[in-house]
Structure 1
Amino acid sequence: MTPTLTAPAPAGAAPSPARALPLLTVPASAIPTSPAADVRRPVLFTGAPEACWLGRYRFPMLVSRNRLVRLKRKFPLAITPWILDSGGFTHLRMNGRWIVSAEQYADEVLKWQETIGGLVAAAPQDWMCEPDVLRLTGKTIREHQELTVANFLRLRELAPTIPWMPVLQGWTLGSYSTHLEMYAKAGVDLHLERRVGVGSICRRQNSVTIAVLLDILAQAGLRNLHGFGVKIRGLELSGDRLFSVDSAAWSYHASRENIRLPECDHAAADCRACPRYAEHWHTDLIERALVTWPEEHHPAHLN
């Protein structure tokens, strides 16, 4: 039986009328607190703006399909584990639908797995459920969820050797519960998957809202969650509920704060596309005990 996702609340407690969250209204006692320093930390995959970084730097990365399709002949040989992002948000924003077939995408990923190596997870051609995306596609949350499940099943059929990562999509807490049930009815036990992505969270502005969702998913037995675009506050609140995360916040931070490392010799005015700063940011989050390395790729094992 698939667990129903229900917001935790103490007996007799009423939700505070002052806290209206996009997912649900919760009492303060239901908000997860920052975990202790000795609990599990997620592996961080830093968002990389260029695919060539995979062959040059050792910190784990997330690379978008939108970057990889630009490569025609020369592919990097990965020296670090990486996750493939399908670029779905940009694709749906531009086209209102997926115009790349599952067959084409599966062929692309098989080629990248063979030529680049190091691929530990590949996102499907999922359908995000943010309200602005729904307006563009003209579809409902349920339709997006059904299309996401169907695409995952088709990709797994076309390319079973690829480590496809199913993605839970939704917007309200109840809609995530519905999508969990859809996967179960399709014969996919998300508890047994290596990673399960949690979609439509990276553009939410309320980290507490996301923390409540992740806490409830973890209570439902999902300890293999991957958070897309999780912010630092999100890591502080719910890092122990996640198996892995990705983030390109380093680039935004370098741009917003006009950061340029003194040792950098690139022509750009700041380090928004600088691998040295990305690595510095990655290391800083590890030293702050917010994230960790994959055990088999820890720097101590690579010397």
Structure 2
Amino acid sequence: MSTFEKLQQEAQELRVTIINMIHKAGSGHSGGSLSSAEILTVLYEKVMNIRPNEPQWEDRDRFVLSKGHGAPALYAILAKKGYFEAEDLHTLRQIESCLQGHPCMFKLPGIEMSTGSLGMGISVGVGMALALKLQGKSCKTFVLCGDGELQEGQNWEAMMTISKWKLDNLVVIIDRNHVQLDGSVDEVLPMGDLRAKLESFGLHTLTCNGHNVQALTEAFDTALGINGPVAIIAETVKGKGVSFMEGQSAWHGKPISKEDYEQAIKELKGVLA
């Protein structure tokens, strides 16, 4: 099995973990978690310089999950990397659990920033990137946001700031699954040519298939070689891997019934067989 085949399989295994977590919890956001599986797998397995056994290592790369409702996917990869015990995944959203519905930096190692209110992540990433530059560190900051949350104006203030300070140590990744809570992004508030918008704000913008680990790896390699601000638009499918969830806004945060759970696991594991 090649490296890319292994990564592709790991992303699919991540989806199984996500569905297991959300079904047991009786709540959680499946659609946006499933769409980001390959992105997180490539980041944590291939791209970021991290030490899971030393989560506060000063020279680590930073990651901010701006789309905080995608927490199940982040928790799944953090557990796989050894930030905490995998058994804790079964406590998602339970009272006193370290695995809150949205990431909490005070409860779980590996969480750089508590996120939940959409639209804040890029601004936080700007602050982190600026701080690292002032400290003379070569660490990178990565921010993963959803396309729906780009409807928040704060993001575009952050983009202008990225451009002004020429933050070449910050990579903005957009999980472009085209669907948000109340419908498709185009139905709710269309953004038109997103790549052109980002480039007009001074960010060199790359696009790739967000479900292809080789394409993602190449996009990150290119991004890290660019001398200036950069964004990656990763084209994805909401609810990827589960036929009845794909592209459906209803599965933004819908509880998974026993019947739906069994069908989802059958489909996901069928790909792994």
TM-score tier (shorter): 0.3 to 0.5
Q: Relative contact order, CA 8 A, sep 6+: which one is greater?
A: 2
TM-score by length of 1: 0.34
Flag the structure with higher helix content. Answer: 2
Q: Which has the higher Rg, Structure 1 or Structure 2?
A: 1
